[in-house]
Amino acid sequence: MATKYDKTIASEIINQFGAKPEMLVQVLHAFVQRYSFISEEAIRQIANELNLSNAEVHGVVSFYHDFRTIAPGQHVVKICQAESCQAMGSRQLTAHAERTLGISLHGTTVDGQVTLEPVYCLGNCACSPAVMIDETVYGRVSPDKLDALIEDCGGSR
């Protein structure tokens, strides 16, 4: 669930990294951790306080998969798309999730419950295909297991 944006706290986060332009990626990670996405307001404030242009911050935000720019759903389901998981069926698992949730990767269900995202290795390659739901990583996830996990977390199907 997204935390309400607060300019003072945002400023504190930026200052934790010395308000240095070279710390932009770390600042963005900290913002995602706190707010779960990088809003336009955040981009303007970060650019202003790091002495960067809005376009420079936008460029970095759009380069990295982790920096989403819209609020995610209540639960974030990440399916690993890296090599080991692909070899063990993560593409088919992704297609199954897209079909059952009625959304594409990076999308959120209409009820706002589930956001589906790709991820590139969860460090769980021995148990491919791997999935992360919110903060928990699961291994050897079959389509049925994925359905059950999403249902358990309260997500819609």
Residue closer to ligand FES by CB (options 94, 124) is 124
| Residue 82 interacts with ligand FES (CB under 6 A): yes or no | yes
Candidates 23-31, 32-40, 78-86, 108-116; binding stretch for ligand FES (CB under 6 A):
78-86
SS3 of the chain: the string is CCCCCCHHHHHHHHHHCCCCHHHHHHHHHHHHHHHCCCCHHHHHHHHHHCCCCHHHHHHHHHHCCCCCCCCCCCEEEEEECCHHHHHCCHHHHHHHHHHHHCCCCCCECCCCCEEEEEECCCCCHHHCCCEEECCEEECCCCHHHHHHHHHHCCCCC
Residue closer to ligand FES by CB (options 2, 121) is 121
For ligand FES, which residue of 122, 132, 133, 146 counts as binding (CB under 6 A)?
A: 122
| Residue 131 interacts with ligand FES (CB under 6 A): yes or no | no
| Residue 128 interacts with ligand FES (CB under 6 A): yes or no | yes
For ligand FES, which residue of 125, 143, 147, 149 counts as binding (CB under 6 A)?
A: 125
For ligand FES, which residue of 11, 39, 48, 84 counts as binding (CB under 6 A)?
A: 84
| Residue 121 interacts with ligand FES (CB under 6 A): yes or no | yes
Beta-carbon-side half-sphere exposure of residue 145 (alpha carbons within 13 Å): 15
| Residue 133 interacts with ligand FES (CB under 6 A): yes or no | no
Q: Which residue has the tokens 């063990």?
A: 88
| Residue 80 interacts with ligand FES (CB under 6 A): yes or no | yes
Residue closer to ligand FES by CB (options 37, 138) is 138
